Structure 1
Amino acid sequence: MLPPFVRANLVSALQNTPTVLEALTASVPLGSPIWDIRPDPKRFTLREVLAHLADWEEVFQNRIIRIRDEYLPKLPDLDPDEFAQQHHYAASDPHRQRDLFAERRQATVEIVKGLPNRAWERKGRYMEESPRVKGPMTIESWIAQMVAHDVYHIRQIVDWLAYTQQGRKE
């Protein structure tokens, strides 16, 4: 169990991500080719990152709600690449996806703020054995995972923008 101040810091980090995404991407015009550059063939484009974050926010939020409301719920282990294909990330409006993420994140933060202390320790598990997660995870663990997921993609966006800036200088 994390101390209350650490939980408060996690909630603060969740709240801050939409502002960081706005600061990083607001100056990129909608029609810019930067949205679709793929410097690493195994990772999302900038456009796809924002669509992924918007989708995954709903996934994380649903996991938290189910764990809060059900006894040891069985959660699906979803594939981000399948989501990208099914939800047409490559054709999405990045500004709309960023705004959708912010809306969903605000709703998630309200849910998390409303959790009683004991709910942070409630557990859920994947329906099938996951290669990434062994055993049950608490809401607290999912919230920490959300912050880590945010930081991973924020770093990815920073790297992409640096890559595109470097290409313009040469």
Structure 2
Amino acid sequence: MYKRPAQGEYAAYYEPYVDLVPEGDIVQLLERQAEETRILLKGLSEAQTLFRYGEKKWSIKEVLGHMADTERVMVYRLLVIARGDTVQLPGFEENAYVLTADFDRIPLVDLLANFVAVRLATIQLVKTLPEDAWTREGIANDQRVSVRAIIAIIAGHELHHRKILMERYLGSNGFPTE
């Protein structure tokens, strides 16, 4: 079952994400997050989802696509390590993923369905992990990481980006009100 990861179980650059995760049932948190993100964005128009709060910043669609892509990468890491594979896992370049995905051409309803589908798959995997898998460690992006740390990173990453969406996008003076 979930126990908060110790600092040595993940790279220091993930600490802001892990710190956002409250104590409690991590599966319930993951479930709530999927619904909260869907509700936050579902009523936006296609024009609103193209909003960028600054030059060279991602659009709302790109943020949502990034959230799903990152979760896919992290869940792959989680699966490999939880199953006891000792292969060293590569990093990934998030900006290149966003650039080549061309998320702005995809309807919001499809991006939301994608995010929710990825999250539901994450939840099913996490729910079925044997207890001893939670503390298994492996190497991803040249850094040691535990399964339970990856789960916390996934939850914290969503919280981080949802906060940015609320504050810098939807809460921006420049956000289109159409």
2:78 aligned with 1:69: no
Match of 1:101 among 91, 98, 115: 115
Runs of 4+ in structure 1 deviating by more than 3 angstroms, as ranges, are 164-168
Q: Quick check: 2:62–2:98 contact (8 Å CA) kept in 1?
A: yes
- Corresponding residue number in structure 2 for 1:157: 165
User: What is the Cα deviation at residue 21 of structure 1?
Assistant: 1.1
User: What is the Cα deviation at residue 49 of structure 1?
Assistant: 1.1
2:94 aligned with 1:84: no
User: What is the Cα deviation at residue 63 of structure 1?
Assistant: 1.1
Identity of matched residues, %: 22
Q: TM-score, normalised by structure 1?
A: 0.82
Unpaired runs of 5+ residues, structure 2, are 5-21
Unpaired runs of 5+ residues, structure 1, are 130-134
**Aligned in 2, Cα 1:94/1:167: closer, same or farther, shift over 3 Å?**
closer
Match of 2:41 among 25, 36, 51: 25
CA distance in 2 between partners of 1:166 and 1:110 (Å): 36
Match of 1:140 among 148, 152, 160: 148
CA distance in 2 between partners of 1:166 and 1:136 (Å): 40
Q: TM-score, normalised by structure 2?
A: 0.79
2:43 aligned with 1:35: no
Of structures 1 and 2, the one with the larger relative CO (CA 8 A, separation 6+) is: 2
